[in-house]
Amino acid sequence: MKEGENEKSGLKDSPQENGVQTNQYHTISPPLSPDIQEEPFSTYFEDKVQVPKAVNQTFSFRKLWAFTGPGFLMSIAYLDPGNIESDLQSGAKAGFKLLWVLLFSTIIGLLLQRLAARLGVVTGMHLAEVCNRQYPTVPRIILWLMVELAIIGSDMQEVIGCAIALNLLSVGRIPLWGGVLITITDTFVFLFLDKYGLRKLEAFFGFLITVMAISFGYEYVLVKPNQGELLKGMFVPYCADCGPVQLEQAVGIVGAVIMPHNIYLHSALVKSREVDRRNKREVKEANKYFFIESTIALFVSFLINVFVVAVFAQAFYNKTNLDVNLMCNTTGSPHQDLFPPDNSTLEVDIYKGGVVLGCFFGPAALYIWAIGILAAGQSSTMTGTYSGQFVMEGFLNLRWSRFARVLLTRSIAITPTLLVAIFQDVEHLTGMNDFLNVLQSMQLPFALIPILTFTSLTSIMNDFANGLVWKISGGLVILLVCAINMYFVVVYVTSLNSVLLYVLASLLSIAYLCFVGYLAWHCLIALGVSCLDCGSRMQMGLGFSHHTDIYLLNDMETDTVVERQDNALSGY
């Protein structure tokens, strides 16, 4: 295949040199693998799940079952300890009033996950691999570092969530650092379940989601929330008598639900199904079933989140520290010192949340809560590790053994998490959790902008590129989400009350906004604003836009190189 054909752009108004279209974007086509490696390169996608052959019917439960798995693994990010903490704080601070924010955030998350799944299905590559092939070297490295920061922040929340759960279950006998070490060790063990088949691994994640549903569902039944108030809070987008505290909590819900590394994860997980990308009907069918599966998975995760919000809205909204202190004293709880005997509003996190449940509803409520948190933390730290593997493999073209990749991605988060566990008391982790939420909020543009960019390019997506409605609505959604999260960041920084930190934040903000502007510029070009493509010739002259395609992972369908290039030129 000629090089000129391989690098044709899908942008209509791209400049031409010597009759050949030149643009920073070029057609995606998995290249032939390089020389045979001395060691076999094992990946998550070694054994793809077979999909039943086509039958002449609009919908098939057998096919849906074959495609079921990636969406539920993706949905675990909506159930991690950071989300659970955001849920319980929402209930304790705003009652049922912010359930509609949770609902709309989940719907927005579903639409963004749809873009991620389509990219993986249509191209046969996940988002990190596409970024590697499409962005110049320096922006690509910065993008990788930003995504790694998001993964580390998420991973710290997840591992510490597991450690807190183990501390509660052991009645304080397992310290926070001990729980971190246990979590890291058993994650290694569970991650190797995929050696026994993807379906067994996916079944294990399904089991953990079931544990969460039963645990938090038990608390829901025990507390008996007011169903009328619950439905009103879910479907009436209004927050009566809400102030800055509730507004900040609403912003926190959006930041907790939509996580940057989950976009990269979902675009990779869908590659685990056997889809013939030469067949447009099969690709369209795969997109349909993955969207249905993702909808079901996020509906389940939404219900579990509602359980948590409703429990704390019913039982602890407008409660004071004194109320809880008296109840804990009455029931003989050893944790009553957590709540000073004053009339300040109750502040809870996942640790204190378990304690107050135990004080008001008995020890069983505390232990069942801890089991749910343990399932949430264990499942999310495993998917977080997969995210780290996919991101590093995609951006850096790592060709290491399975054990080496797991060890590296686990090690990245071990050191900061262990240091926090050693030097931070289990009762005082809320401030760190706020910082980690801010960190992840800042990384959102580095997932949302690239996914909209690449799914809007016909040179990459062919007939499956975003239409005008998706381009406009996707752009507005991403702008709204990023604006909300930036507000969250500003609120957090201004609460620090330090001039030095203000200056440092200002300097970092300038560099941050410049890079976001660079990504947004590329995104607008992809969305059809061709007048912004003025830098294409200059980049060609500097050697930036002519990004040489380098080999990717062996799990690519290497026999589809010529076919995908021909399809790209013929419009599928």
Q: How far apart are CA 149 and CA 445, in angstroms?
A: 13
Q: How far apart are CA 208 and CA 284, in angstroms?
A: 31
Q: What is the pLDDT, as a whole number, of residue 530?
A: 77
Q: What is the pLDDT, as a whole number, of residue 430?
A: 61
Give the CA-trace dihedral at 525, 394, 437, 474, to 10 degrees. Answer: 30
State the amino acid at position 221 in one-letter form: V
Q: What is the pLDDT, as a whole number, of residue 357?
A: 93
Q: What is the pLDDT, as a whole number, of residue 207?
A: 95
Domains of the chain are 61-444 (1.10.4160)
pLDDT tens track for 87-118: 999 999 999 999 999 999 999 999 999 999 99
Q: How far apart are CA 66 and CA 57, in angstroms?
A: 16
Q: What is the pLDDT, as a whole number, of residue 288?
A: 94
State the amino acid at position 537 in one-letter form: R
Residues in Cβ contact with 150 at an 8 Å cutoff, skipping those fewer than 6 apart: 259, 260, 261, 439, 440, 443, 446, 447
SS3 string of 69-114? CHHHHHHHHHHCHHHHHHHHHHHHHHCCCCHHHHHHHHHHHHHHHH
pLDDT tens track for 448-465: 999 999 999 998 998 899
How many Å is the Cα radius of gyration of the chain? 24
Q: What is the pLDDT, as a whole number, of residue 428?
A: 62
Q: What is the pLDDT, as a whole number, of residue 369?
A: 95
Q: Is residue 457 helix, strand or coil?
A: coil
Q: What is the pLDDT, as a whole number, of residue 36?
A: 35
Residue 44 banded pLDDT, cuts 50, 70, 90? low
Q: How far apart are CA 168 and CA 369, in angstroms?
A: 9
State the amino acid at position 383 in one-letter form: T
pLDDT surpasses 90 at 266:
yes
Q: How far apart are CA 459 and CA 23, in angstroms?
A: 11
pLDDT tens track for 220-230: 999 999 999 99
State the amino acid at position 128 in one-letter form: A
Please state the rounded mean pLDDT for residues 297-326.
Answer: 93
Structure tokens at 356: 């107050």
Strands 20-21 and 16-17: antiparallel
- Partners of 21 in the beta sheet? 16
353 versus 398: which is more confidently predicted? 353
pLDDT tens track for 334-346: 777 788 888 888 8
pLDDT surpasses 50 at 569:
no
Please state the rounded mean pLDDT for residues 197-226.
Answer: 92
Q: What is the pLDDT, as a whole number, of residue 534?
A: 67
Please state the rounded mean pLDDT for residues 480-495.
Answer: 78
Please state the rounded mean pLDDT for residues 520-534.
Answer: 83
Backbone φ, ψ for residue 349 (5° rounding): -135, -170
Of 68, 34, 77, residue with least CA distance to 380: 77
Q: What is the pLDDT, as a whole number, of residue 243?
A: 84
pLDDT surpasses 70 at 20:
no
409 versus 499: which is more confidently predicted? 499
How many Cβ atoms sit within 10 Å of the Cβ of residue 504? 12
Please state the rounded mean pLDDT for residues 243-251.
Answer: 83
Query: Residue-wise over 162-200: b if at least 16 C-beta within 10 A, else e?
Result: bbbbbbbbeeeebbbbebbbebbeebeebbebbeeebee
Q: What is the pLDDT, as a whole number, of residue 106?
A: 94
pLDDT tens track for 395-421: 988 777 666 766 776 677 677 777 777
Residues in Cβ contact with 260 at an 8 Å cutoff, skipping those fewer than 6 apart: 147, 150, 440, 443, 444, 446, 447, 448
Average pLDDT, rounded, for the chain = 80
Residue 27 banded pLDDT, cuts 50, 70, 90? low
